[in-house]
């Protein structure tokens, strides 16, 4: 049985074909016969709170709850787009919430699981914003706003994010090698799995004289992307949109 990892789906009503792909994949045999499914952040383009009454959160909850109902654990770690997702939605959707930087044993490998944004330490402006929006005070202030106001706020935040991405060198927005090494040393792991950068790849390298591995999950903008991990190894592959 394989353990499956996905991230950076950025589900949004403007890309219905990707939401359809997500639902089909979760309803398929690969997921329903998996050891577990991990979603490592940015499941949606923007999460405005667990009380969102739009159609998309309800569809997501139905899809993940059905996987959990089939006996497959579904683990979820928030990313930079859905960090407001909380326990109320997790319970409704059958999700087990994970802290960023959780370590799980995955088929005999002690594995560090992260969304990946905290590893992008060269992007100083982004890290400053991240620090602000992760405070309980800031989040409570946002969640106290009416839904419509939160939708407008999220739309503005997406525009600001696009502007920052468009004006920042790609190398700055990638992970920092020292940050990766520090995180893996601290967690005492030989494998790191993360998303966020939209640069899917399997990186094998040496850390303190030992072979280690960093696996980057792909995004779901044009197609799906899934990592399969089992006792035989890892496979990172795409999922076609029908």
pLDDT in tens, 13-31: 999 999 999 999 999 999 9
Q: What is the per-residue pLDDT across 29-80, written as a single tens digit (0 to 9) for each?
A: 999 999 999 999 999 999 999 999 999 999 999 999 999 999 999 999 999 9
Comparing C-alpha atoms, which of 45, 39, 38, 49 is closest to residue 19? 45
Bridge partners (DSSP) listed for residue 207:
210
Whether the model pTM is above 0.85: yes
Alpha carbon 88 to its chain's center: 19
Q: Please identify which residue in the block is written with the tokens 């005070």.
A: 137
Q: How many CB atoms neighbour CB 27 within 10 A?
A: 13
Burial class (CB in 10 A: 0-12, 13-18, 19+), 157: middle
Residue 162 pLDDT: 80
Residue 172 pLDDT: 74
Measuring CA to CA, how many Å separate 32 from each of 3, 38, 100, 186? 11, 13, 25, 34
Average pLDDT over every residue of 163-168: 72
């Amino acid at each position: 049985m394989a353990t499956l990892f996905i991230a950076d789906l950025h589900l949004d009503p403007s890309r219905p074909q990707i939401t359809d792909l997500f639902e089909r994949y979760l309803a398929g045999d690969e997921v329903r016969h998996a050891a577990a499914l991990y979603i490592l952040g940015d499941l949606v383009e923007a999460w405005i709170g667990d009380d969102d009454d739009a159609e998309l959160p309800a569809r997501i909850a139905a899809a993940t709850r059905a996987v959990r109902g089939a006996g497959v654990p579904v683990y979820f770690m928030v990313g930079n787009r859905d960090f407001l997702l909380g326990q109320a939605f997790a319970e409704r959707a059958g999700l087990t919430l994970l802290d960023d930087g959780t370590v799980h044993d995955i088929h005999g490998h002690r594995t560090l699981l992260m969304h990946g944004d905290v590893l992008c330490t060269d992007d100083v402006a982004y890290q400053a914003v991240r620090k602000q929006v992760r405070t309980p005070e800031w989040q409570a202030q946002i969640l106290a706003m009416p839904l419509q106001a939160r939708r407008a706020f999220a739309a503005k935040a997406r525009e600001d994010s696009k502007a920052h991405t468009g004006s920042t060198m790609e190398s700055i927005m990638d992970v920092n090698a020292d940050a990766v090494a520090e995180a893996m040393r601290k967690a005492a792991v030989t494998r790191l799995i993360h998303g966020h950068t939209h640069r899917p790849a399997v990186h094998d390298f040496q850390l303190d004289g030992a072979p280690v591995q960093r696996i980057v999950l792909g995004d779901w903008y044009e197609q799906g992307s899934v990592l399969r991990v089992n006792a035989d190894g890892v496979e990172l592959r795409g999922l076609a949109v029908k």
